[in-house]
Chains A and B, each alone.
Chain A
Amino acid sequence: MTVPSGPASAEVPAVRCRSLGVSFGTVQALHDISLDLAAGRIHALVGQNGAGKTTLAKALGGLQAPDNGTVCIAGNQIPPGDVRAAKSAGLAMVHQHFSLPPSFTVAEALELTAARPESHSVYRRTELYRRWQNEVAEVGGTNVLATRIRDLPVETRQSLEIVRALVSEARILLLDEPTALLTPAATDTLFERLRGLRDDGVTILIVLHKLREVAAVADTVSVLRDGKLVLGPSEISGVSQGQLSDAIVGPAPDADRAIAVEAAANAEQQLLLELVRVSSRESAFEPGLASIDLAVEAREIVGIAGVEGNGQRSLVSVIAGLSAVTEGSVLLGGEEMTSAPPARRRLRGLRLVPFDRNSEGISRSAPLWLNQSALRLIGRRRQFPLISLRQYKRQASEAMDLWQVRYNTVAQPAESLSGGNVQRLVLSRELASGLEVLVAAQPTRGLDFSATNFVRSSLRGLRDAGAGVLLVSSDLDELFELSDRLLVMYGGSIVARFNAPYDRQAVGDAMTGALR
């Protein structure tokens, strides 16, 4: 069924929930949420990591059964946790993580998620291509139909997620942090698309992190804090930026407390990390490095800008010692490390905040204390072979307290932490003593703004304490704010070098290869 659209039906809210509560074990994720979302508008939902935004979106979409309370979609009450009922009431979710199976072709994926089961249960390929050619016209034309999902660039996958939602005849879209993986340009395109959908009468609830994006796209805004609705939905025009951030952070901001970073910077050694004409093989996703020269000195943050997939991952893994160098050399603190294993590089003061904190930064199933202490085990070969678990756990909990990781016990698995807390955990491990140079890859991606500020001030603190930082990011504002120097990668090489103050236009041109 479809939902009547337009201003005439504004009295029937597209989404209504009453006294919604969700708890996971002892943690109350959502607490007594009552919310009406008017039809045909773009509603933003903001809040810190762990505030319950994703849980609320899932509860509204029927993917999470609430413990109490009710959800009505377009006037129809949805049985708790019933995805099908929510779908047939016209609601579709666009997830934070992509929800299409990577090995499916685009046509197969759309067929899987189509609303009506077709009369024949068996199909021909050409029939699928014919059926879906119109839907994919906007996301890269019909030749995309036979492409596997995993081979699509990230922004095409994102727009395909919206196509997926729309082919199920959705009149209400829930988008969970759709901009987290997008470049600024792709974000603008996405917002353009959402405005178009709204003008066609689609109701949109979008979970966002950056207040700038809220102002850019939303009609109304609601704020969640600690599982409670603390603001809204209010007209965006009636809320100031200051009110919004106060509502998000709450009365007692605890995040910006400065942290004393001990960087064991070696006073004599200025050049901490050096890459001399380094080349590497291409990976499945990215070009390899093509003769890269790069140096990071003490007391500086060197930014790496570039559209994703231009060799940034190769660069980080070459420095970390995770992929082989075909030519050139890597030096840490003046010491030749080209073929040294990661552990030796870490002993020499290299620390790493990896791209994917959930898969590369932590072991999701291991307890917090083990994740936190992993580095302490490196270089233990010459020490006494037994360790004291109690001591390790105590040190881990001290470090995590210092970094304000929110956790219940050091024995809980790392996957139980929210995104921002995982990043704090990674930082608490990597930024411990012995650090000389830090490679930080997308350190604030997907973090709310208080966690983002926290990470950024930590990086600055590191620099001021004498360490060198290589910051890889796709957020130009972040790079401009933090970097002392900025390098732009394109197609596996460094195509431009900038010094502050930065010219956004010039950097942007370099990123798109206009300089070549």
Chain B
Amino acid sequence: MEQVLATTLRSAAPLVLVAMAGVFAFRAGIFHLGLEGLMISGAFTTVAIGDATGSVELGILAAIGVCMTLSAVYWWVIGPLGANVIIAGLGLTSIGLGGTAFALGAIFDIRGSMFTDVVLPRPVRGATSGPGVIISEHSILVWITPLIVLVAWIVLRRSRFGLRLAAVGEYPFAARSAGVNPSIVRLQALLISGALCALGGAELSVGALRNFTENMTNGRGFIAFVAVIFGAWHPIGAALAGLFFGFADAIGIQSQINITERVPREFVLMIPFVLTIFAVWLGGLWRRRTLEAEAGYAELREPDY
């Protein structure tokens, strides 16, 4: 049981970080399907730069820089250039997945996995049994994730910037009338989003593990996006959803170890995804009423400019 909880925290941390990234984008009105691509770019850059310089901090800073740059490009493509948000987001994901695999081969002449010595510090370690296992062996990023969620909540729900962000996402017309430039606010949201994706990717590669592997995000960016929707694009809600998906993942991992003699492995591997679908269905039921109410305001949401 302790082991499951420990694995839950470890699996959930990158999901929660990227879900926060998704919440920022979603509240600014962007259906951000490029999270996966940013996350893997963050993971790769951390390992590549961290390994080259021998400093994990430099690696993470570089990852944040790369992800913010990619986010700025994404903003430029969907904003000033007017590309479709979904298509451009999926494109960003493809570039991230393909680009990191390519760079791994081109720069390091490696296929598959690249191992590294740099690793994030782990404040508590050494417990082998009892409740101590739950908090032991987690990277520093796991520890500060709750703090990041709290800050995200304050920024989004209790700050004037958050109000402007929400106005831009929900009703750009209102934001414009309030003297806000929606385009700039979207850029700000995407930059924050990029930085958070970089942290999520770094936790994956040098927090929980010590390597970069092609496609190591394995759909986590999309799961994080689902957590945003499931959590009603509220930072706390999305964090809880991310925690739940982490738990589902942990159950999957744990049962893989324990019950593979009796249940075919493929079914065990499905557990997290089945739970995810179930949870999203539940969330949909729960919110149906409010969505119906909003649909009735079509005339309000489509002012003729």
Contacts and interface: CB of A to CB of B under 8 A. Distances in A.
Interface in A67-116: 83-84, 87, 93, 95-104, 108-109, 111-113
Contact of B158 (A95, A123, A359): A123
Interface stretch (B61-69, B70-78, B263-271, B292-300): B292-300
B31 interface: no
Given A97-B299, A101-B166, A124 B158 contact: yes
Given A102-B171, A102-B297, A95 B177 contact: yes
B167 A87 contact: no
Given A83-B179, A150-B293, A358-B302, A101 B160 contact: no
A329 B281 CA distance: 35
A477 interface: no
Nearest to A157: B300
A358 B299 contact: yes
Given A83-B177, A101-B167, A103-B170, A121 B302 contact: no
Contacts of B167: 101, 104, 112
Nearest to A112: B163
B287 interface: no
B299 A359 contact: yes
A310 B171 CA distance: 28
A102 B294 contact: yes
Interface in B143-189: 154, 158-161, 163-164, 166-167, 170-171, 173-179
Interface string A310-352: 0000000000000000000000000000000000000000000
A118 B293 contact: no
B120 to A, nearest CB: 29
B299 A101 contact: no
Which interface class (under 10, 10 to 19, 20 to 34, 35 or more) fits A?
35 or more
Contact of A108 (B154, B163, B171, B305): B163
Most buried by A among B160, B161, B292: B160
Contacts of B171: 99-102
Contact of A122 (B154, B178, B297): B154
B289 A284 contact: yes
Interface residues of B, number: 32
A112 B164 contact: yes
A111 B166 CA distance: 13
Most buried by A among B154, B161, B293: B293
B268 to A, nearest CB: 41
Interface string B184-202: 0000000000000000000
A63 interface: yes
A170 to B, nearest CB: 12
Nearest to A356: B299
B286 to A, nearest CB: 16
Q: Provide the main secondary structure of the chain A interface.
A: loop
B176 A102 contact: no
Nearest to B159: A122
A227 to B, nearest CB: 16
Interface string A107-145: 011011100011001111100000000000000000000
B161 A121 contact: yes
A284 B290 CA distance: 9
B304 A415 contact: yes
A83 B174 CA distance: 12
A364 interface: yes
Interface string B209-234: 00000000000000000000000000
B177 A93 contact: yes
B160 A118 contact: yes
A178 B123 CA distance: 61
Contacts of A118: 160
Given A121-B159, A123-B158, A415-B304, A87 B179 contact: yes
B303 interface: yes
A121 B300 contact: no
Contacts of A358: 298-299, 302, 304
Nearest to B164: A112
A113 B154 CA distance: 19
Given A98-B300, A101-B170, A113 B177 contact: yes
Contacts of B175: 112
A285 interface: yes
A284 B174 contact: no
A444 to B, nearest CB: 16
B288 to A, nearest CB: 11
A378 to B, nearest CB: 23
A306 to B, nearest CB: 18
Contacts of A284: 289, 292-293, 296
A448 to B, nearest CB: 16
A108 B170 CA distance: 13
A87 B296 CA distance: 31
Nearest to A64: B305
A100 B170 CA distance: 10
A183 B249 CA distance: 56
A150 B297 contact: yes
Contacts of B302: 358-359, 364
B298 A356 contact: yes
Interface in A408-456: 415
B244 to A, nearest CB: 24
A113 B299 contact: no
A83 B176 contact: yes
B160 A117 contact: yes
A118 B179 CA distance: 15
Nearest to A415: B304
Contacts of A83: 176-177, 179
Which A-B residue pairs are the 10 nearest by beta carbons? A359-B298, A97-B303, A284-B293, A101-B171, A101-B170, A113-B178, A99-B177, A84-B179, A112-B163, A356-B299
5 contacts: A63-B305, A83-B179, A103-B166, A103-B294, A125-B158
Given A99-B177, A284-B289, 9 more contacts: A83-B176, A95-B173, A95-B177, A95-B303, A96-B303, A98-B300, A103-B294, A284-B293, A358-B299
